Chain A
């Protein structure tokens, strides 16, 4: 049981890092008022780009950097469409996800057979010896540590820096920000680019640290879960940490559950009734749907809460801004 728990936690940390990086990026972008539904596409581009660069150069750090840059490049398209041309953010985002999926499937087919030496696991002395959690949390890749560190950075940035305050103001009331001499245009571009960089990093972590190989469509909807996570987190970095680990746990359960038996013994009361249900719920294919089911629950919860207006949605989310149109 202890080894199962340790293994589960280990898988949770790895799965959570992907969601954490992508979610933090999406959070920044949305706080500035721009919804980015292209996360999935940006993650895939970052995953493939990072993988190719690592194969070619042999340096996973260069690969990781390439993933970030490619994510930002795709985000630049989103920024141009939504901020400069003021087109619909939802349509632009979905289009970019489709584009990212298409491009990576096309160019990625040649790289499926390749293998790399990705991010190694780094153990933190002493802490790693803590029972159960030590191995999971303190023997991880550099990107896992980085993601945790970024929670603090993003939290500090949004709450304790002028640039962060300005970014929030742009997402709450761009007209107000403009009258205070804050450049709505520049800050929204910056936020979307940072968001794209985070998504690219999440993708690169997936191919360079998590699985250490490239498979087309390997993000498997995690970009969409990141979008839902932002709602779960109520647009706050610290809650994002909780959400990412919760969803990471659901993801990990699916991988690790084969070694776990939850069925009742044949003599237990109601065993004939309960066991088939448990077995069905533990089928890997069914378990694979849990993160997505959880996403639906989170979104439904969000919609119900929105009516009571207590949700921390940035007030100007989805609104484009220009000065002389009112």
Chain B
């Protein structure tokens, strides 16, 4: 144990009914380092950090921070010890201002009662410094002037552009995260825990965050950075500890390991970053959409007369920057959003404007973008969710009565075949209790096991860990071999390239470019996605796609 060690967690054990979330985990963090905590969804990273922050209490094990043993009963204890945490889901109250959110719980009294007010207060110091007056003022008054100044100073020092008197809802996601960090800095923390901080950020915002983190560690702060993205480990982390199924599988200097090593530590086996895609003969068209237009939730046209044909055994990848009509396109194709114009023919039947149920009956399956809100009923059991689309079929009973035994068997089959982990009992475990990757596998299982003619998958691997990503991609390709036509919408270009037979680029509700992975030119696609005109490159005869590809690779 080096002298520089600031945090030591030893033999942490935490059990939830039926699951060991942390199985005697050790962790040590050095002063001024960014320590990565890497693991798949459900590996126990968040649990370990919630113990460190006093939100959970461990069943066994000790926490030593700056040489002292900590007894953490509540977050207040952690804050007092100098530990701050930025949670994955922001802990901010949208209706309150930045300053109010930051000082909450700090009991800042009105300025006249501050013990450090000096000349500014008309109250004599002897009254102000009285303990009873202090405590009363801290409870029944609230002064934001001095705190606002301090917060602004902190923000300036670390280059955060934040208006301290703005309401949280007025800020964008990146700014909200900076407020979260300010909350910790305001409390003079020595150790900052960041729980998957980039999950909600755009790549540019993530870059900015990484820069801020380096400035913080320069000032002697230690940071624990929870993530399941290997790219981020390379980008910011100094040392990394990998958790798998609640156990510590090792700590390493990032400079001395490769991504493949880390992935193997995380998943427990070799991870294939390259996928073999066999050639499949295309069959009859399963979807013929022509001239389809649709509006978004605000009633603004989001899709302007697009044509799309998908054939049996074909994966059509749709690339584009988020918000260019992908969501509406997916929903129209899945039948849950009515098009304002155009027609949809699925497997030879015109079902334009039909109810979603008709789409389901016609063999359309849908993996929505937001799995918690639209992909499942999170308070219902795994069994209910697994059978949600098919329970009224003849297989599960007749004349309005359900055969629960059969429903249960069916759900168990799905859970086994699609390797959905974290399910104790299909009738007891709620879908909402599954981790992101496992929930996504369950949704995919439900949509694919019914052998659809057309599968619409919107961001199927967003926010899930590498093991699950690999599984989901393989499953999609297997289903392609069965003759299902697949529409894959993804912001991950690699995913589009690896899986698609044909690539369409969507920009402002229209397809602006069509290509195949073999012929595709990434730079051109990137340009088309952002509305950089395709005409320019067409008018320039020297910039043929093949040449540009070579340049970008060299």
> A-side interface residues toward B, CB under 8 Å?
157, 160-166, 168-169, 172-173, 175-182, 312, 315, 323-324
Assuming A169-B93, A182-B105, is B141 touching A162 (CB within 8 A)? yes
Would A168 and B105 count as touching, CB distance under 8 A?
no
> Closest Cβ of chain A: how far from B91's Cβ, in Å?
4
Would B76 and A181 count as touching, CB distance under 8 A?
yes
Kindly state the separation between the CA atoms of A176 and B93 in the bound complex, as whole angstroms. Answer: 8
Contact indicator per residue, chain B 88-106, by CB within 8 Å of chain A (1) or not (0):
0001110110001000110
Q: Cβ of B142 < 8 Å from any Cβ of A?
A: yes
* Chain B, residue nearest A173 (CB): B93
Would A179 and B142 count as touching, CB distance under 8 A?
no
- Considering only residues 349-364 of chain B, those with a C-beta below 8 Å from chain A are none
Q: How many of B's residues come within 8 Å of A, CB to CB? A: 28
* Chain B, residue nearest A176 (CB): B91
Kindly state the separation between the CA atoms of A164 and B92 in the bound complex, as whole angstroms. Answer: 17
Label chain A's interface by main secondary structure.
Answer: helix
Would A175 and B91 count as touching, CB distance under 8 A?
yes
Residues of A within 8 A of B75 (CB): 178-181
* Chain A, residue nearest B104 (CB): A180
Assuming A173-B93, A176-B92, A176-B93, is B142 touching A160 (CB within 8 A)? yes
> Closest Cβ of chain A: how far from B154's Cβ, in Å?
17
Residues of B within 8 A of A162 (CB): 107-109, 138-142
Assuming A172-B95, A182-B104, is B79 touching A161 (CB within 8 A)? no
Would B104 and A323 count as touching, CB distance under 8 A?
no
Would B87 and A179 count as touching, CB distance under 8 A?
yes
Top 8 nearest A-B pairs (CB, nearest first) are A181-B76, A180-B105, A176-B91, A181-B105, A172-B93, A180-B104, A179-B75, A182-B105
Would B91 and A173 count as touching, CB distance under 8 A?
yes
* Chain A, residue nearest B55 (CB): A323
Q: List 14 A-B contacts (CB under 8 A).
A: A162-B109, A162-B140, A165-B104, A166-B105, A168-B93, A169-B96, A172-B93, A173-B93, A176-B92, A178-B74, A179-B55, A179-B85, A180-B75, A180-B91
Residues of A within 8 A of B141 (CB): 160-162
Residues of B within 8 A of A166 (CB): 104-105
Across the interface, A179 reaches (CB within 8 A) one of B53, B56, B109, namely B53
Known: A162-B140, A178-B55. 16 other contacts (CB 8 A): A160-B110, A160-B141, A161-B140, A162-B139, A166-B104, A166-B105, A173-B91, A173-B92, A176-B91, A176-B93, A178-B74, A180-B91, A180-B183, A182-B104, A182-B105, A324-B16
Would B55 and A165 count as touching, CB distance under 8 A?
no
Assuming A181-B75, A181-B76, is B104 touching A169 (CB within 8 A)? yes
* Chain A, residue nearest B105 (CB): A180
Contact indicator per residue, chain B 61-95, by CB within 8 Å of chain A (1) or not (0):
00000000000001110010000010100011101
Residues of B within 8 A of A169 (CB): 93, 96, 104
> Closest Cβ of chain A: how far from B259's Cβ, in Å?
31
* Chain A, residue nearest B138 (CB): A162
* Chain A, residue nearest B46 (CB): A326
Kindly state the separation between the CA atoms of A119 and B138 in the bound complex, as whole angstroms. Answer: 36
Kindly state the separation between the CA atoms of A324 and B96 in the bound complex, as whole angstroms. Answer: 26
Would B104 and A161 count as touching, CB distance under 8 A?
no
Kindly state the separation between the CA atoms of A323 and B14 in the bound complex, as whole angstroms. Answer: 14
Would B56 and A324 count as touching, CB distance under 8 A?
yes
Residues of A within 8 A of B76 (CB): 181
Kindly state the separation between the CA atoms of A180 and B141 in the bound complex, as whole angstroms. Answer: 18
Residues of A within 8 A of B95 (CB): 172, 312, 315
Residues of B within 8 A of A168 (CB): 93, 96
* Chain B, residue nearest A180 (CB): B105
Kindly state the separation between the CA atoms of A53 and B139 in the bound complex, as whole angstroms. Answer: 33
Would B104 and A163 count as touching, CB distance under 8 A?
no
* Chain B, residue nearest A172 (CB): B93
Across the interface, B100 reaches (CB within 8 A) one of A165, A178, A181, namely A165
> Closest Cβ of chain A: how far from B186's Cβ, in Å?
11
Across the interface, B139 reaches (CB within 8 A) one of A163, A176, A312, namely A163
Residues of A within 8 A of B142 (CB): 160-162, 164-165
Most buried by B among A161, A164, A166: A161
Kindly state the separation between the CA atoms of A315 and B168 in the bound complex, as whole angstroms. Answer: 14
Residues of A within 8 A of B109 (CB): 162
* Chain A, residue nearest B432 (CB): A326
Most buried by B among A164, A175, A315, A323: A323
> Closest Cβ of chain B: how far from A307's Cβ, in Å?
13
Kindly state the separation between the CA atoms of A135 and B85 in the bound complex, as whole angstroms. Answer: 59
Kindly state the separation between the CA atoms of A175 and B110 in the bound complex, as whole angstroms. Answer: 26
Residues of B within 8 A of A180 (CB): 75, 79, 91, 104-105, 183
Kindly state the separation between the CA atoms of A315 and B92 in the bound complex, as whole angstroms. Answer: 12
Would B79 and A181 count as touching, CB distance under 8 A?
yes
Kindly state the separation between the CA atoms of A166 and B110 in the bound complex, as whole angstroms. Answer: 15
Kindly state the separation between the CA atoms of A323 and B55 in the bound complex, as whole angstroms. Answer: 7
* Chain B, residue nearest A316 (CB): B93
* Chain A, residue nearest B93 (CB): A172
Kindly state the separation between the CA atoms of A157 and B142 in the bound complex, as whole angstroms. Answer: 9
> Closest Cβ of chain B: how far from A51's Cβ, in Å?
33
Residues of A within 8 A of B93 (CB): 168-169, 172-173, 176, 315
Across the interface, B74 reaches (CB within 8 A) one of A163, A165, A181, A312, namely A181
Residues of B within 8 A of A181 (CB): 74-76, 79, 105
Kindly state the separation between the CA atoms of A172 and B75 in the bound complex, as whole angstroms. Answer: 18
Would B139 and A161 count as touching, CB distance under 8 A?
yes
Kindly state the separation between the CA atoms of A160 and B108 in the bound complex, as whole angstroms. Answer: 11
Most buried by A among B53, B74, B92, B183: B74
Kindly state the separation between the CA atoms of A160 and B139 in the bound complex, as whole angstroms. Answer: 10
Would A179 and B107 count as touching, CB distance under 8 A?
no
Kindly state the separation between the CA atoms of A180 and B100 in the bound complex, as whole angstroms. Answer: 12
> Closest Cβ of chain A: how far from B127's Cβ, in Å?
19
Kindly state the separation between the CA atoms of A163 and B141 in the bound complex, as whole angstroms. Answer: 8
Residues of B within 8 A of A172 (CB): 93, 95-96
> Closest Cβ of chain A: how far from B109's Cβ, in Å?
8
Kindly state the separation between the CA atoms of A228 and B488 in the bound complex, as whole angstroms. Answer: 49
> Closest Cβ of chain A: how far from B264's Cβ, in Å?
30
